[in-house]
Amino acid sequence: MTSDDTAPGTSTTATAPGTGAGTTAAATAPGTSAGTTATATAAGTGAGIGADLHLELPAHGARRTALAQALREAVRSGRLSGGTRLPAYRALAADLGLARNAVADAYAELVAEGWFTARQGSGTRVAEGAATAAAPAGPAPAAAEGPRHDLLQGKPDPASFPRGAWSASARRALAEAPTEAFGPGDPRGRPELRRALAAYLSRARGVRTGPENIVVCSGFANGLRHLASLRPRDWAVEEYGLPFHRGILEAAGVRPHPVPVDEDGARPDGIPARARTLLLTPAHQFPTGARLLPARRAAVVEWARTAGGLIVEDDYDGEFRYDRKAVGAVQGLAPEHVVYAGSLSKSLSPAIRLGWLVLPDHLVDRVLAAKGLRESWASALDQLALADFIACGAYDRHIRRMRHRYRGRRDQLVSVLASHAPELRVTGISAGLHAVVELPPGTEAAALEAARAAGLALDGLSEYRHPAAAGAGREGLVVGYAASPEAAFGRAVEALAGTVGRAGTEGR
């Protein structure tokens, strides 16, 4: 370290990371007679490289004063946050075309004012809280108080993401990836992932497919958009479902017609005659939780065969079945008439934007054309990591662990509700990440209001009903039991029980 790295007037030394005897300027101002805009780079000898610092100095005036003002403004604006290490002043001087003393004096001035700190061995840094202290005083904005307990459906436990196992798979995948994996790639998706998915889906979900019929996409919604663009006419959809999915269909020019749903799932006799595509959640109807009976599964397959129709099977949480043997995919009954769609949003994490379509032969090329040559692709590195994650057994282990955990939470929810509100029926509990607490007619709105006042985030069943569905709908609360932190789940369930208990009493 040389003596000119210490701001005058201090007993400490300001050294940019990696600086030694040499410095390299990324941009050197041609002089000081014109405005100076430069990127300051402090670079040490050998491989060490310091930090870039972009500053704009006015064309006229004392250079030290101009530099000090530019540095203050960079802190005020947040471009230089607390703790940011600054370049050694001789490097900054070289980059800006200034005398070293001018930069050293500017640093010393800002240290004295409290903008910067200087410490032996740590260099000169932006002082923590400097930007806050410089901001003009004003009334503090009122903090928005959000819900205390997250009981929204469709969200897995984020704290249970298998960080270690995923990291190991990502490292192996990156180390073993072929060179061509870093190029444009195949719009079908990485072959390693398609092979792993074909084996897993066949074994775990009863899907009949090979890698050549699988197209990887960025989640179920992305795949649904592709399918809607190919069949933009009349679709049949379950009368209870995600409004978001109906919106995707309508945006593509599709007219979604409601199919009645009861405790045995969608009713095949309610499929409109003009519909040629059916969007279905047979393993665990969303959000009511019904399982499509075997006779109805056979009936929808027969409809597809006789009407020339296509079934889009949304297997959104098929892995999480608790009280009965897992229900196989409808696709296994008629691979040429069913598109099987899945994703990681419930089983692993919605942060990993990966999904898949298992397509009949006649749709593969059409979906690839709709997908496009370069757009809407999922990350190749995430695909390779998932392929390894499945192949090494980590995905199966994660599913088994979470199935046990979610079952425990479901049991706790059902037990507490049975104790506080035995008159209310809790349905849809044999699988998935949510349950439905059925409410007496006319009480859902009040129960929702009371639940939200108690700090609970959850939805009403009516919010998921198709606006064109016939007859009176059911009322209830859709309660997700996966996302709440473990330590808070008991309090959340107790608060919910108090809320629905009052609703049940008022509905008598």
Find the radius of gyration of the CA atoms of the chain: 31
Residue 145 confidence class, pLDDT cut points 50, 70, 90:
low
On the question of pLDDT at 108 being above 80, the answer is yes
On the question of pLDDT at 375 being above 70, the answer is no
Q: With left for phi above 0 and alpha for psi between -120 and 50, is residue 455 left, alpha or beta?
A: left
Q: What is the pLDDT of residue 347?
A: 95
On the question of pLDDT at 106 being above 60, the answer is yes
Q: What is the pLDDT of residue 418?
A: 94
On the question of pLDDT at 505 being above 60, the answer is no
Q: What is the pLDDT of residue 237?
A: 98
Residue 269 confidence class, pLDDT cut points 50, 70, 90:
very high
On the question of pLDDT at 2 being above 50, the answer is no
Only one residue has tokens 């809407």, namely 376
Q: What is the pLDDT of residue 476?
A: 95
Give the separation between CA 71 and CA 85, rounded to whole angstroms.
13
Residue 135 confidence class, pLDDT cut points 50, 70, 90:
low
Q: What is the pLDDT of residue 489?
A: 93
Does residue 182 or residue 1 have the better pLDDT?
A: 182
Weakest mean pLDDT among 66-70, 361-365, 479-483: 66-70
pLDDT in tens, 434-479: 999 999 999 999 999 999 999 999 999 999 999 999 988 999 999 9
Average pLDDT over residues 335-339: 97
Average pLDDT over residues 490-499: 92
Residue 66 confidence class, pLDDT cut points 50, 70, 90:
confident
Give the separation between CA 165 and CA 432, rounded to whole angstroms.
23
The runs of H, that is alpha helices, within 280-327 are 294-307
Mean pLDDT of the chain: 85
Average pLDDT over residues 152-179: 95
Only one residue has tokens 């932190």, namely 485
Residue 123 confidence class, pLDDT cut points 50, 70, 90:
confident
Q: What is the pLDDT of residue 508?
A: 52
Give the separation between CA 53 and CA 447, rounded to whole angstroms.
56
Does residue 327 or residue 506 have the better pLDDT?
A: 327
How is 32-79 classified by DSSP, letter by letter?
A: SSS-EEEEEEEE-STT-EEEEEEEEE-SSS-HHHHHHHHHHHHHHTTS
On the question of pLDDT at 168 being above 90, the answer is yes
Q: What are phi and psi of 202, to 5 degrees?
A: -65, -45
DSSP summary character for residue 117: E
Does residue 335 or residue 184 have the better pLDDT?
A: 335
Average pLDDT over residues 88-108: 85
pLDDT in tens, 24-39: 333 333 344 445 555 5
Q: What is the pLDDT of residue 94?
A: 83
* % of the chain surpassing 90 pLDDT: 62
Weakest mean pLDDT among 224-233, 246-255, 373-382, 444-453: 373-382
Half-sphere exposure (CA, 13 Å, Cβ side) for 17?
Answer: 9
DSSP summary character for residue 101: H
Q: What is the pLDDT of residue 479?
A: 96
Does residue 208 or residue 100 have the better pLDDT?
A: 208
188 touches 373 (CB < 8 A): no
Average pLDDT over residues 147-175: 94
Q: What is the pLDDT of residue 8?
A: 40
Average pLDDT over residues 413-436: 93
Token pair in block for residue 17: 């990371």
Does residue 304 or residue 141 have the better pLDDT?
A: 304
* % of the chain surpassing 70 pLDDT: 84
Q: What is the pLDDT of residue 4?
A: 42
Q: Tell me the pTM.
A: 0.75
Q: What is the pLDDT of residue 265?
A: 95
Q: What is the pLDDT of residue 62?
A: 82
Only one residue has tokens 């996302």, namely 483
Of 233, 238, 251, 236, the closest CA to residue 284 belongs to 238
